[in-house]
Structure 1
Amino acid sequence: MPEISEITRIVHYLNRYLAGKVIKNVVANEDTIVFKDTTSSAFAKAMQGKRVVEAKQQGKYFWIEMDSPPHPVMHFGMTGWITFSKAPEAHYRADMADEDDNKEEIEWPPRFMKFVFEMEDEGNNAAFTDARRLGRVRLIDAPAKDIRKVSPLKENGPDPVVDGLDEDWFRGVLNKRKKPVKALLLDQAFISGVGNWVGDEILYHARIHPEQYSNTLSDAQQKQLYESTIYVCKTACELLGDSSKFPEDWLFKYRWSKGKKKNVLPNGEKIDFVQVGGRTSAFVKTRQKATGGTAVKEKTGGNDEDSEGEKKKGGKKRKIVKDEEDERDGIPVKKGKRGPKPKTEDEEVKTPAKRGKKKAVKVEESQSENEEEESEVEAKSSRKGRGKVKEEIVANGGTPSGRRSSRLQK
C-alpha cells in the first residue's frame, strides 16, 4: 500500500511534469466508489482548462493546488497510483533511475484508469489508476491555504516530514494512550503517513516489540521511538520510496519472503510475524523484546516452534495463538468464522461410528442383564434345593448342618 514515501514520490513527479501547465482536456470514467462526494463528469468539468500550481501532501493524502477552487484531493487506498505517459520511472516499483535512456513503453491509456489529465504540451499526460477501487478522488471547494482545515485532512495528524513532530507532544500521546504501539503508529489521527511496513521499520530500529502498550514505554524507549520515526520517514521520503536505495540494514529488505522461505536477517536472526491492529507485523524477537504490558495474541512465523509457547505475564499464562484465532472451549476459532461447536455426549453418539459403538454398548448391557437374570434364577433354584435337603434332614432327626449330623451318627 502506498505510504508516506510513495506519496512523496508521486508529489515529486506531479510537480515535475504538471506544475505550471494547463490541463487541456480531462477524460474520466464513471465510478461511484472512487469519486467521493462528486461524479466523474463534475470532476472533469471542474478540472478542464485549469492551471496546476503545485502538488502537496499530508501523510497518505495528496492534492493538486489549482489556480482556483475546487482542488482535487486524493488517496490511493491499496492499489491506486498516478501513471505518467512520459515518466515510466515514476512508479514506485520501477527500479529505474531518472537518467535511464532505456525507459519502458507505457500502455496508454493505462488499465483501470479513473481519469486522465491531458496537458497543454503534447503527449504529457497523467492518469489516476486503481485496480481494486479502494482509492478516493474528492473535490475540495476551499481556498488552497485552507485545504488542510477541511475533511478529510483536518482529522489527520501531523506529517512527520512535512510538519515535523514535537517530541514533548509525541511523548505525551504515548503516555496517555494504552494501545499496542504498532497499532498507535498506524492511527492516522496520531501521525499521518505511517503504514504497515513503515511502522515495522520504525519499531525495528527502536528495538521495541510491536505489541507493547504505548503507555508502558520507558523514557529511553520513548526517545528512541521518536528518533526512529523521524529517521525512517525522512530517509524513505528523501529516497522517494525507491526501495532499491534503502539502507541494507533495514528490515524492509528481508521481510517480504513470508510464507515462501525462511525469514532471516543476514546475521541469521529470525524474523517473526504477529497480528497487531488487524495487520501482520514483522519483528525480530531477539532485538525487540517486550519490557512492559503487551497485547494478548501473538503469532510466530516460519517453521520455528517457539519454546515459549506459554509466556507468563503478571502470573498469568499467555498462550500463543495463530493469526487472529480465539480459543473457545479449547477449540481454535478464526475471527469472523464460527468454528465447530463442541459436541455433547448425546450428540457424539449420533455419528455412524458412534452409533455403532452405542449399539455395541447396548448389546453388552443386554447380555449383562440376561446373565444377571440367569444367575438370579440359578441362585433361587439353589436356595430352593438347599431348603428341601434341610427339611429332609430335620425330618430324619438330623440338623441342617452336615457336620453336626455326622457327629450324631457317630
Structure 2
Amino acid sequence: MPEIGEVARVVHFLRKHLVGRTIRECQAFNDDIVYGKVGCSSSAFQQHVEGRKVTGAAQQGKYFYVTFDKAPHAVMHLGMTGWVEFDSESTYYYKQAKETPAKAQDWPPKYAKFLLKCDAEMDGDKRDKVEVAFVDARRLARIRLVDCHAESIRDQTPLKENGPDPVRDRDEVTVKWLSKLLKRKKVPVKALLLDQGNISGVGNWVADEVLFQARIHPEQYSNTFDEEEIERLHHALTDVTSIAVSTLGDSTKFPENWIMKYRWDKGKKNANVLPNGEKIVHLKVGGRTSAIVPSVQKKTAAVAGDVDSADLSDKEQKQPVKGKKRKTFKDEDEPDMLEVETPAKKGKRRDPKSESMRLKKEAEEKPATPISRRSSRRVSK
C-alpha cells in the first residue's frame, strides 16, 4: 500500500503538472465503490471538477487532496494499488515496465477512475498540455468531494478523524505527545503506529522500519516503554518518515542500513539478511506481517501478539500452538519466552506393546467392566 513517502510523490507530480492550471475536461468513470463508498459519484465529481482552476495539492499521511478556485475540493486515498499517472512522465517509485514514458503506452490507462485534461499554458507558463489519470485495479481507492473553504479542508471528514502527519505536523508530534499516546493505550506498539487515528501515513513497511531503527520489538505493549525507549522511537519515527517524504518514496535513495532494502525476499534461500549478517525474520502481529531483526529488537517488557513464523530460532521465540495466542506476562520480571507443549502429530501410531499392556492392566483392575471389541482386538494382537 502506498504510504507517506509514496503519497508525497503523488503530490509532488500534481504540483508540477497540475497546480495553477485550468481543467479543460474531466471524464469520471462510474464506480459505485471508489466513489460511492464515500458518498460521492462519478457524475458529481465530473460536474464539479471540470472547468475549475487547480490552486493547490497537499497531503495528510496517506490522504492527499487537490483544491480548486471554488469549492468543493477533491480528497483522495490510493488504497492498496491506486496511483496517479501522467501522459507525459512516468511517476512510479519502483522499477517496472511502467517506467517507460506513459505516452508510449496505451492511453488512457486501464482501470482509470477519472481523466483530467489541461491545455498548454500561455502567458509565460511554458508547460505543455497534460492529461492526468487516477487508476486503481483493485477498487480500494477512495475519491470524494469536500464542500468547504480550502484553508479548512483538514478540519473536515475524513482528514479530521486522522492523527497528525509526523512530517507536516512535526511541531505537534513531539516526544511528550508520543509518550502520552503510548501510555494511554495497551496495544502492541506496531498496532498503535498503524492506526491512522493515532498517526497519519505510517503503513506496514514504515512501521517496521521505525521499530527496527528504534531497536523495539513490534509486539511489546505500548504502555510498557521507559522514557529512553520513547525518545528512540520518536527519533526513528521522525527520521524515517522525513526521509521517506524527502526522497518521494524512492527506495533507491534510502539509507543502506534500512531494513526496507533487504526485507522483501521472504522464504528465499540466503535472503532476508542484512549486510552485517544479521537475520531478518517475519512475524504476524495483529494479522499483519512484520519484518524484524531479533538480534537487536529485544522484548523488554510484556508483549502481545499472534506470532506465526517458522523461521524464528528457539532462542528468540518458541513456536506457539496453532490457533492459540501466546500468553502475556504482567510482571516485567517474568521471562519473555513461554514454553508451549507441542501437540501430538495427527496419525502418529502408539507403541503396540505398551498399548497392549495398558489395556491388559485396565482389564485386571476392573474385571467387571467389559472391554470394547476394538480394545479386545488390540489385546489379542
Which TM-score band (shorter chain)? 0.7 to 0.9
Match of 2:167? 161
One-letter identity of the residue aligned with 1:204: F
How far 1:305 sits from its partner (Å)? Answer: 5.5
Query: Do structure 1's residue 174 and structure 2's residue 176 form an aligned pair?
Result: no
Match of 1:147? 153
Question: What is the root-mean-square deviation of aligned Cα atoms in Å?
Answer: 2.9
Could you tell me how far apart the structure 2 residues matched to 1:242 and 1:21 are? 27
Could you tell me how far apart the structure 2 residues matched to 1:19 and 1:205 are? 36
2:266 is aligned, of 258, 276, 284, to 258
Could you tell me how far apart the structure 2 residues matched to 1:193 and 1:178 are? 21
**Is the 8 Å Cα contact of residues 85 and 123 (structure 1) preserved in structure 2?**
no
Q: 1:102-152, CA deviations, whole angstroms, 9 ceiling, x for partnerless residues?
A: 746232111111100011226401100001000000000111111111111
Q: 1:303-346, CA deviations, whole angstroms, 9 ceiling, x for partnerless residues?
A: 8565742799555885589xxxxx9x9599xxxxxxxxxxxxxx
Superposed, 1:3-402 pairs within 5 Å as 3-35=3-35, 36-88=38-90, 90-94=91-95, 103=101, 105-121=104-120, 123-164=129-170, 165-261=173-269, 262-300=271-309, 302=311, 304=313, 308-309=317-318, 313=329, 314=331, 361=375
Query: Structure 2 stretches of 5 or more lacking a match?
Result: 121-127, 320-325, 346-371
Query: Which structure would you say has the larger Rg?
Result: 1
Change (3 A) 1:360 1:234: closer
How far 1:299 sits from its partner (Å)? Answer: 3.0
| Structure with larger RCO (C-alpha < 8 A, sep 6+) | 2
How far 1:61 sits from its partner (Å)? Answer: 0.3
**Is the 8 Å Cα contact of residues 191 and 286 (structure 2) preserved in structure 1?**
yes
Query: Structure 1 stretches of 5 or more lacking a match?
Result: 322-326, 333-357, 368-410
How far 1:41 sits from its partner (Å)? Answer: 1.1
Match of 2:354? none
| TM-score after normalising by structure 1 | 0.75
Q: Which has the higher helix share?
A: 1
**Is the 8 Å Cα contact of residues 263 and 302 (structure 1) preserved in structure 2?**
no
How far 1:260 sits from its partner (Å)? Answer: 2.6
Q: 1:184-203, CA deviations, whole angstroms, 9 ceiling, x for partnerless residues?
A: 00011111000000000000
One-letter identity of the residue aligned with 2:187: K
**Is the 8 Å Cα contact of residues 296 and 318 (structure 1) preserved in structure 2?**
no
Could you tell me how far apart the structure 2 residues matched to 1:277 and 1:360 are? 46
One-letter identity of the residue aligned with 2:54: V
Change (3 A) 1:86 1:297: same
Q: What SS does the corresponding residue of 1:23 show, helix, strand or coil?
A: coil
Q: What SS does the corresponding residue of 1:193 show, helix, strand or coil?
A: coil
How far 1:360 sits from its partner (Å)? Answer: 5.9
**Is the 8 Å Cα contact of residues 53 and 65 (structure 1) preserved in structure 2?**
yes
| TM-score after normalising by structure 2 | 0.80
Q: How many residues align structurally?
A: 332
Could you tell me how far apart the structure 1 residues matched to 2:157 and 2:53 are? 24
Could you tell me how far apart the structure 2 residues matched to 1:205 and 1:187 are? 20
Could you tell me how far apart the structure 2 residues matched to 1:86 and 1:307 are? 51
